[in-house]
Structure 1
C-alpha cells in the first residue's frame, strides 16, 4: 500500500481514515484485549495482524481513536472483516453502521465479491448490509456470516 491508497471519509466532525500511521496502538490493543474474539491473542500478534490488513480508524472531532475495523484481503476476490468496534462513549450515534458501510464501499475493495466475518453478538448490524449466516456456531458460539456481491 502506498500513500495514494489512503482514504478518508468525514461525517458530523468524525473521520474514518485508512492511514495506519494515525492509529492509536495502545487504545486499539486495550479495546481489542477486552473483546471475546481477541482477548487471548498476544498484543504483538494482534498488532502484526492489524499492520497486515486494510485498516479503518474512526476518530472523534478531538482526534481520539473512537473506533476501528479492518479487512484482511487480497484486494481482488476475498476479504475477512474483523475487529470492528466503537468505544462505549461513542456508541448509539450510528458510528458502527457508518464504519461497516465505509469498509464495504471502499473503492480499493470494489472487486471483492465475497466478504466474510464471524460474530456472536452483532448479527443485526451485518444483516442490514446483506450478510447472511452460513454456518452453525463454532466452539466459542460465533457464527460465520458472508456477503456475496
Structure 2
C-alpha cells in the first residue's frame, strides 16, 4: 500500500454514505442508484476500501461478487477525484487481486469504459472470444 493510505477488506470500515454518494452521483454505471440498493449490494459482496491514514476518510472503493470457487465479477471500482493519479487505484486493485488469489478462481471479469490500462497491469485482457458472451440487461426506467 502507498504510504499514507490503508487498504481494508473489513465491511465495517466502509463509509456507506460516501460510497453511495460517489457511485450514485459520479459513476457512469451507477448514476441514480438508490441507497437501499447500494447497501444491499454491499451486504451481498466482498468489499474493499482504501483509507487516508491521517484523516481516516475513505478514498476508494471496490466490490466483488463471487461464488468463492470458480468465478468473480469486479465492480463499482471508484477512486475519489482528490487522490486520483497518486497510485490509490493501483493499490486498490492490487489488494483486491491479492485477496482473491487464494480462492483459485478460474475467471474474474469486469467491465470498464475508461480504465483498461489500470486493469491490464493485473492481467485483465479483452475477451478472447467476445462472441461467446451474452448479457441480459434490465429495461431502463
TM-score band, normalised by shorter chain:
0.7 to 0.9
TM-score, with length taken from structure 2? 0.83
Q: CA deviation at 1:108?
A: 6.7
Aligned pair count reads: 129
User: RCO greater where, 1 or 2, for CA within 8 Å and sep 6 or more?
Assistant: 2
Report the aligned-residue RMSD.
Answer: 2.0
Q: How does 1:123-138 map to 2 (within 5 A)?
A: 123-134=116-127, 135=130
Q: Which protein is richer in strand relative to its size?
A: 1
Match of 2:30 in 1: 38
Q: Distance in 2 between matches of 1:53 and 1:98?
A: 20
Unaligned runs of 5+ in 2: 135-141
Match of 1:59 in 2: 51
Correspondence for 1:115 among 108, 116, 132? 108
Correspondence for 2:67 among 74, 79, 86? 74
Q: Which protein is richer in helix relative to its size?
A: 2
Q: Distance in 2 between matches of 1:110 and 1:83?
A: 21
Residue 48 to residue 103, structure 1, CA distance change in 2 (3 Å): same
Q: CA deviation at 1:113?
A: 1.9
- Indicate conservation of the 8 Å contact 1:52/1:72, yes or no: yes
- Indicate conservation of the 8 Å contact 1:76/1:109, yes or no: no
Q: Distance in 1 between matches of 2:93 and 2:34?
A: 25
